[in-house]
Amino acid sequence: MSVWLILLVIWSALLSGLTIAIAKRADWGGDESEGVQKVHRHWVPRIGGIPVFVSFVSGCFLWAHLGYIGQSPALNLVLCSMPVFAVGLVEDISRKAGIGLRLLVTMLGAALGWFFLEGQIRRLDIPYVDDLLVHSALASFLVTTIAVAGVAHAVNIIDGYNGLCGFFGLLAFIAISAVAAMHGDWPLAHAALIAALSVSGFLLWNYPMGRLFLGDSGAYFIGFLIAELCVLLVQRNPDVSPWCALLIV
């Protein structure tokens, strides 16, 4: 198991290095150095979401092949996150995916998760509110889509200072994995661990010297995964308080 963990970090780091080399050679996906959130002066590609996403997908299918997570849940998690990653990548490359479109697509990803992953917020440990969420599918659907989209956008907001978003994502995934493991939910623990390892390889190029930025594709993808895994953590494990998920984010 430990060998596969190390190999996934190396794979993520190699993909990140390859992304940098291709972006520089093609002069593609660069981030401007002037603006409110800009602290760099050299040319840096902002398409770091590509190696993080590819590493996560590779890890999910590898772990499914090894039997650590189910093949169907792994595939569904990848498919639900794909629109969120894609719309972020469109924004990174073209700057033409407005905030409204990104919000709608992120909510679409949450909606897909609600149906195909059973990532449904059914309790908040708040009297009367929990009754509504349990008995009204519509209320649960709306709260879930808004919450997941909100977390994804919040994570995107903290992207812009070197290493901040990536390290936050790393710590959040480790926390989710640890809590899931404590409650015996090993498939979810492994999924969160794969996400943490995928971010780790990227961070080797991002901190302390920024050579590759997450961009919207990476930030939205990481934020969406954190939110979706938190929803699943609470939904699948009745002993886990919803406030644990809030503390993680």
Task: Report pLDDT for 153.
Answer: 95
| Positions in the chain whose pLDDT score sits under 50 | none
List of E strands, the chain:
30-31, 44-45
Its pTM stands at 0.93
Q: Which of 77, 83, 44, 55 lies closest to 215 in space, CA to CA? A: 44
Looking at residue 95, what is its pLDDT? Answer: 79
* Whole-number pLDDT of residue 162: 81
| Predicted pLDDT of residue 129 | 95
In 3D space, the residue among 54, 73, 112 whose CA is nearest the CA of residue 190 turns out to be: 73
Q: Helix 99-116 and helix 137-158: axis angle, to 10°?
A: 130
SS3 30: strand
Q: Which residues contact 161 (CB under 8 A, 6 or more apart)?
A: 37, 39
